[in-house]
Structure 1
Amino acid sequence: MPYLNSPVVPAGTLARMPQPALPAGGGLLLRPWRAEDAPAVYAAFQDPLMHQWHIRSADSEEEVADWITQWQSGWKDERQAQWAVVDADTGELLGRVALREIVLGDGCAEVGYWTVAGARGRGVAASATTALSHWAFEEIGLHRLELSHATANEASCRVAVKAGFAAEGTRRSALLHPDGWHDMHLHARVRGDRASV
């Protein structure tokens, strides 16, 4: 039985091109992950704040190297698109921004991000998320991006709002963290919404 609508974004759109580097505001660059990023990612995941708001830990640089391999293959599979957020001048790793759960046919994906401890409070996550959203809408043609964070994570909520993601509601007891089940705020941005950064 045929569908009544054509895919929002045709299959193969990502796989046909190399993953691009994306300039972002504030002297940031979003670039594809490299194998040599493993030590910096491992160091970032030793931060206790990462353990508070994320469900993953890193036990070794070798484990992180496997993550990076998976992040790289996610582009070819069109399941996810992950970028290192770096200082455009020095190349220093400042964080990560990603499209997860990509469904090209429906024109949607989920945004995720984190920053290293030394980059927090500088607008890195909001600028990176804004740049990624612009690319996803204007270059790829996605229609809707979603973003979730624990309701107690006020810093992440500020990032979402600055990046133009409107609050849509609370998903009760939606994600299991090490300290128990967390309610999650759901934010979304659709094509045409504007960011404040």
Structure 2
Amino acid sequence: MTPPPVIAPGSLAARPQPALPCDDLLLRPWEAGDAPAFLSAYQDETIRRWHTRRPSCEADALEWFDTYRRDWATERGGHWAVEGVTGEVLGRIALRGWDFDDGLADVAYWVVPAARRRGVAARGGPGLSPPGPGRGGFHRLALDHSTHNHASCRVALKSGYDLEGTKRSAAVHDDGRHDMHLHARIREV
């Protein structure tokens, strides 16, 4: 007998992608008006260093937003803008690679330069983490980052993602292959 899926298919896409309040931040779906801020973020040297897939113009950003909406509708992922109290985009948080059978997803994030060292990723990330409101029933959330990305490692640890190990030569960045730290957070049952 096959066990039932951890998350019932259709249970997330049956409702609109939620906006998730997280302390003084709001995680909300990306909107067309965010394209300039999104594109600007990918001009930042640090974001470019760790994210090799990048939009090159506002039309690309809008295409990505369309893909993000389709990801939600097809239950493949959720992508949120991290909005500050004055409505500015401070970063990005995403849950990707949804596996409803086993209740798994991967977390990704970045923060714009002006919002760094203010805990934006660590405060925004828990909104997607067990037992946060955005978890949608996921049992395990994982994230990985280059072993050279010490800031991302601090965010993961502050957000309750235990370091599980190193994936050797697991990602390609502009300067070549990188080993990646693997972190995960498990929903307590």
Match of 1:14 among 12, 15, 37: 12
- The aligned runs of 1:24-103 (5 Å cut-off) are 24-25=22-23, 27-87=24-84, 89-103=85-99
Alignment CA distance shift 1:106-1:75 (3 Å): same
**2:5 aligns to what SS in structure 1?**
coil
> CA offsets, 1:148-178, max 9 Å, x none?
0000100000000010000000000000111
The one-letter code of the counterpart of 1:12 is: G
Length-normalised TM-score, structure 2: 0.96
**2:101 aligns to what SS in structure 1?**
helix
What 5-or-longer segments of structure 1 have no aligned partner? Answer: none
Q: Could you tell me how far 1:58 is from its partner in structure 2?
A: 2.3
**1:130 aligns to what SS in structure 2?**
helix
Q: Which residue is 2:21 aligned to?
A: 23
> CA offsets, 1:12-66, max 9 Å, x none?
01110111110112x1000111111111100111111111111122211111110
Q: Percent identity?
A: 51
What 5-or-longer segments of structure 2 have no aligned partner? Answer: none
1:84–1:97 Cα contact (<8 Å) kept:
yes
1:173–1:183 Cα contact (<8 Å) kept:
yes
**Structure ranking higher in helix proportion:** 1
| d(CA) in 1 for partners of 2:22, 2:116 | 16
Match of 1:130 among 126, 130, 135: 126
Count of aligned pairs? 187
Length-normalised TM-score, structure 1: 0.92
Match of 1:170 among 157, 166, 169: 166
Q: Which residue is 2:100 aligned to?
A: 104
The one-letter code of the counterpart of 1:100 is: R
The one-letter code of the counterpart of 2:7 is: V
2:97–2:105 Cα contact (<8 Å) kept:
yes
2:82–2:91 Cα contact (<8 Å) kept:
yes
Q: Could you tell me how far 1:129 is from its partner in structure 2?
A: 0.6
Q: Could you tell me how far 1:136 is from its partner in structure 2?
A: 4.1
Instruction: Report runs of 4+ in structure 1 exceeding 3 Å deviation.
Output: none
